């Protein structure tokens, strides 16, 4: 393996640094532009109506919100300000509860404040949560808008008001893996000497979707909210067991070098070990991970600010349109499926993306390669065995992109069975005997999969996918070469997709999207996660996605198998036979 010279390494590091600085300058320019747009919209908007559907559903007062008309709907506007009062952006809240930030608007460290300053200040995630707390306690409440912003807001408040009694009101995302609400709230409280308040329900009186203080107020009343706030205490530092120590080192090993350098001394102190020891253990684990992962996954950092989902998907769709010739519905579905891979840990169904065409040179591999740039943990292959398939999923949980399926899937029933088993999370397991003792072992088969090939795949596989049919481009139709799009551009998309997924995983996990009734049961299952993402994104995407679902599902008509068609034909023949005598007559 060739090694870069020191001079070349210096040049590469400088190029990366210059690129980051340039991107930061451009981001600040866009944020200032968004700030001016926010000021204009805010000035023209009217005070929010108490009867707005969202406020009525949440049973909270508007607290200095405004509203305007957008997309034919009355939309609430929540201001995002810094401590000096400068308006940087707006959050739109639609009547159905969908929330979107202004395009390119800043969110980090910004807040919306409810009430006048009080000795006790509370930081909460969402508006309705903060409003419920303010109404129950009378304390000043700062809305941080999402759990990732809690720490930045806490830092701002603590610096400006060092002696304030600061409380972080956590969302208890008890049904979401990793409980991001509790995790981030605890982290913010520990970092800035704040207390932690946790919503608490009476035993057996909490449903799965209740997570925050607004849910608590609606089910148990404001008195219970006030009780929980009054019970706030500093979070306890966890005693580090050997397992906990290794888990912490594993998390640190996944940080990029600059991030690790910033916190290594502080983390070593927390863990009770020397910094040099931590450095050695992190380096050792990184080397091991690089060997195990075979370097197919490159760690990325989430985008620093909240992402406008509609704008993000529009941009991905535009990139796909530049590189691939296909129906708009195909490109729209490819966009949604690429975003879907980032939610694979929270969805119930994993539809297979099936890229197909009637002949070669229709762009199947090209579409797969472009989608690969946007997917989570992409792993491409032009052939795979059944054992390699389930072991890859078990080990890496990748997005599998399999090309040339028409050549290697023929007559491989075991491979088809594995693909079929990975469609629904509850059933996505197989049992295989492993080791010298042939110990029965359960393997997971649930994951995002893309298949590309000529013609149709077996019906049972096609039935579990969204079909992306391609054709040859016509004379006069042109596409851009994939290599002409800078790698840094795709890196930006992946960072934004990661941030969007982190901010909306809970929404997608609990989503119940509107699905066209013309789709059959299996098609509805396949499209459910894609439509959930479209509704979370908002704008034109919900309607766009539903239209694509109908168009790509043969207008929703049930497609009979060959056997059913044969039986139907036989039935028609027998319907013409009036009696047994006619049958025995030998008539043609």
- Ranges of H-type helices in 161-303: 180-191, 213-220, 222-230, 242-253, 257-271, 275-293
What is the three-class DSSP state of 425?
Answer: helix
Region of poorest pLDDT, from 17-31, 190-204, 299-313, 329-343? 17-31
Q: What does the chain come to in residues?
A: 588
Nearest to 256 by CA among 491, 446, 533, 520: 491
Q: What confidence tens digit (pLDDT) does each residue in 497-522 have?
A: 999 999 999 899 989 999 999 999 99
d(C-alpha 425, C-alpha 345), whole Å: 10
Q: In CATH, which superfamily holds the domain spanning 309-555?
A: P-loop containing nucleotide triphosphate hydrolases (3.40.50.300)
Tokens 């912003």, residue? 149
Percent of the chain with pLDDT over 90: 57
| Sheet with strand 378-381: strands edge to edge | 378-381, 399-402, 449-454, 352-357, 465-469
Task: Tell me which fold the domain 107-237 belongs to.
Answer: Dna Topoisomerase Vi A Subunit; Chain: A, domain 2 (3.40.1360)
Q: What confidence tens digit (pLDDT) does each residue in 383-421 have?
A: 888 888 888 898 889 999 999 888 877 778 888 889 999
Q: What confidence tens digit (pLDDT) does each residue in 337-373 have?
A: 999 999 999 999 999 999 999 888 788 999 999 999 9
Q: What confidence tens digit (pLDDT) does each residue in 6-56 have?
A: 777 777 677 777 777 887 888 899 999 999 999 999 999 999 999 999 999
More confident residue, 81 or 18: 81
| CA max distance for the chain | 104
What average pLDDT is seen over the chain?
87
Q: Is residue 305 within 8 Å of residue 106, measured between CB atoms?
A: yes
Q: Residue 581 is encoded by which pair of tokens?
A: 């005598």
More confident residue, 68 or 473: 68
Pairing mode, strands 112-114 and 99-101: unpaired
């Amino acid at each position: 393996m060739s090694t870069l010279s020191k001079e070349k390494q210096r040049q590469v590091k400088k190029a990366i640094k210059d690129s980051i600085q340039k991107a930061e300058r451009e981001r600040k320019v866009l944020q200032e532009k968004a700030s001016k747009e926010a000021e204009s919209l805010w000035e023209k908007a009217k005070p929010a109506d108490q009867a707005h559907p969202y406020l009525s559903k949440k049973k909270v007062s508007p607290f200095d919100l405004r509203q305007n008309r957008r997309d034919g709907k009355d939309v609430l506007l929540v201001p995002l300000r810094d401590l000096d009062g400068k308006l940087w952006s707006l959050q739109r809240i639609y009547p159905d509860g969908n929330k979107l930030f202004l395009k390119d608007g800043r969110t980090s460290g910004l807040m919306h404040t409810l009430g006048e300053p009080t000795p006790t200040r509370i930081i909460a995630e969402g508006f309705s949560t903060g409003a419920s707390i303010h109404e129950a306690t009378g304390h000043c409440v700062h809305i941080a808008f999402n759990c990732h912003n809690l720490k930045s807001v806490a830092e701002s408040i603590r610096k400006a008001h060092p002696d304030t009694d600061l409380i972080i009101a956590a969302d208890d995302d008890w049904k979401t893996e990793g409980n991001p609400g509790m995790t981030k709230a605890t982290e913010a409280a520990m970092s800035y000497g704040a207390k932690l308040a946790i919503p608490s329900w009476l035993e057996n009186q909490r449903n799965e979707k209740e997570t925050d203080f607004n849910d608590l107020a609606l089910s148990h009343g404001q008195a219970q909210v006030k009780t929980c706030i009054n019970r706030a205490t500093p979070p306890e530092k966890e005693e580090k067991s050997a397992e906990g120590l290794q888990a912490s080192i594993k998390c640190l090993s996944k940080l990029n070098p600059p991030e690790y350098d910033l916190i290594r001394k502080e983390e070593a102190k927390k863990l009770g070990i020397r910094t040099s020891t931590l450095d050695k253990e992190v380096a050792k684990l990184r080397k091991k991970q690089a060997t195990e992962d075979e370097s197919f996954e490159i760690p990325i950092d989430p985008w620093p600010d909240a992402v406008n989902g509609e704008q993000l998907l529009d941009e991905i769709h535009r990139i796909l349109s530049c590189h691939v010739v296909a129906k708009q519905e195909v490109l729209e579905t490819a966009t949604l499926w690429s975003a879907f891979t980032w939610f694979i840990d929270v969805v119930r169904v994993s539809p297979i993306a099936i890229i197909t065409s009637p002949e070669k040179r229709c762009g199947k591999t090209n579409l797969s390669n472009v989608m690969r740039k946007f997917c989570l943990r992409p792993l491409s292959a032009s052939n795979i065995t059944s054992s390699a398939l389930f072991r890859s999923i078990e080990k890496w949980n990748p997005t599998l992109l399999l090309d040339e399926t028409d050549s290697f899937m023929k007559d491989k029933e075991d491979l088809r069975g594995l693909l079929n088993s990975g469609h629904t999370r509850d059933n996505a397991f197989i049992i295989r005997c492993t080791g010298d003792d042939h110990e029965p072992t359960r393997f997971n088969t649930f994951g995002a999969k893309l298949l590309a090939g000529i013609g149709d795949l077996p019906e049972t596989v096609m039935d579990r996918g969204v079909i992306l049919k391609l054709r040859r481009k016509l004379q006069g139709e042109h596409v851009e070469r994939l290599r002409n799009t800078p790698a840094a551009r795709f890196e930006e998309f992946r960072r934004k997709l990661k941030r969007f997924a982190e901010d909306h995983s809970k929404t997608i996990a609990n989503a119940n999207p509107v699905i066209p009734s013309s789709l059959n049961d299996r098609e509805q299952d396949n499209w459910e996660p894609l439509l959930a993402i479209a509704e979370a994104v908002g704008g034109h995407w919900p309607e766009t996605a539903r239209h694509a679902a109908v168009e790509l599902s043969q207008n929703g008509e049930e497609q009979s198998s060959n056997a059913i068609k044969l039986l139907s034909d036989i039935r028609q023949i027998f319907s013409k036979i009036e009696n047994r005598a006619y049958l025995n007559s030998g008539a043609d």
